[in-house]
Amino acid sequence: MFERLKEAENRYLEIEKSLSAPETASDKEAFAKAMKEYKNLTPVIEKYREYKKLLSDMEGAKTLMEEESGELYDMALSEYKECKEAISSVEEQLKILLIPKDPNDDKNVIIEIRAGAGGEEAALFASVLYRMYTMYADASCYKTELMNFNETGLGGYKEITFMISGDGAYSRFKFESGVHRVQRVPETETQGRIHTSTATVAVLPEAEDVEIEISPSDVTVETCKSSGAGGQHINKTESAIRLIHKPTGIVVECQDERSQFKNKDKAFRLLKAKLYDIKQREMNDKIASERKSQVGTGDRSERIRTYNYPQGRVTDHRIGYTVYSLESFLNGNIGEMLDKLATADAAEKLKGNNS
């Protein structure tokens, strides 16, 4: 581990030097690439330097203990013990920081929410999840962009697709893929019975052009009138776009924008993300051991979380974690849950690396 840390620090110093070089500064692409690597290495190097300082302080305290007695000895002993305890903690943190990073973590993310079992109640729950994610995104200074939706008469969504852009967006939302279950009394229920409904969430990293190339001959582009609840623009012009990818049969639609050109651009971004997702899944299927070390990021049929309204709780079944502040959670305060999932995933990967 320490050999890797020394190599990482040497690389860090190289990049630091190159960033101040005129030739790097004049090349925007090279500068951006170097800056990204520098940023990724910074947390590791800062922690490594903290580790080295603790080692130095501990050795200094040990030397003082050998030379002094009385009160000075006691002070040195106390510092020695504190440093030793801190070193153990920092070593564990370094192990986690050295876990290979998911190459998609820095990407923007496309989220699809679809109503599952439960009819209109499931569609209403899909709208609750959409609101929850966008409120968290806004509070976290991410940008949200609606891509497509199919609204019901009561304000729910049969399906809704949106993009969240910003630094590390995928790393924050990637554990949300799966089946979300809600238990509550629907507004339409006169006898006060609790119903169980579901919505599925798919989280896709935005694909870059260099990763996915789409041949124009493989795609059928159709225009159609926008559909949805209300609005003067709805059903007036053929601005909605439907793409059919012939090799895979994937169909995507986009109707959020008034401009057909903008809808077409969004639709192709969504299609690329879906094709990239297929590519990633095929790779993951070849690495079964890696799949076991993930906190349910891939299986969309897996029931990952229950939102229980009568008891005011949210339980994530993958990590057995429950919060008893449902209203706050649905208002976008999901950061703690996302942190717990990321920590659990890192612990599983660390366990896999050590076995």
Structure-derived torsion over alpha carbons of residues 23, 25, 26, 32, reported in degrees to the nearest 10 = 120
What is the reported pLDDT for 336?
A: 94
Q: Which residues contact 9 (CB under 8 A, 6 or more apart)?
A: 45, 48, 49
Architecture of the domain spanning 2-97:
Up-down Bundle (1.20)
For position 230, what pLDDT does the model report? 46
- Percentage with pLDDT > 70 across the chain: 87
Report the C-alpha gap between 125 and 195 in whole angstroms: 12
User: Would you state the pLDDT for residue 228?
Assistant: 56
Q: What pLDDT shows up at residue 209?
A: 61
Q: What is the CATH number of domain 109-348?
A: 3.30.70.1660
Token reading at 315: 């339980």
pLDDT digits (tens, 9 = 90+) for 240-251: 888 999 988 889
How many CA atoms does the CB half-sphere of 192 hold within 13 Å? 1
Cα–Cα dist 347/151, whole Å: 40
CB 45 within 8 A of CB 12: yes
Cα first-last separation, the chain: 15
Question: Where in the chain are the domains?
Answer: 2-97, 109-348
State the pLDDT at residue 176. 95
What is the predicted pLDDT for the residue at 292?
A: 45
**pLDDT, tens digit, 9 for 90 and up, residues 92-146:** 888 888 877 778 888 899 999 999 988 899 999 999 999 999 999 999 999 999 9
pLDDT of 294: 45
Which residue in 47, 49, 54, 44 sits closest to 85, CA to CA?
54
pLDDT at 237: 56
* Residue ranges in the chain modelled with pLDDT below 70: 187-190, 209-211, 225-238, 283-301, 352-355
The pLDDT assigned to 337 comes to 95
For residue 268, give the 3-state DSSP assignment: helix
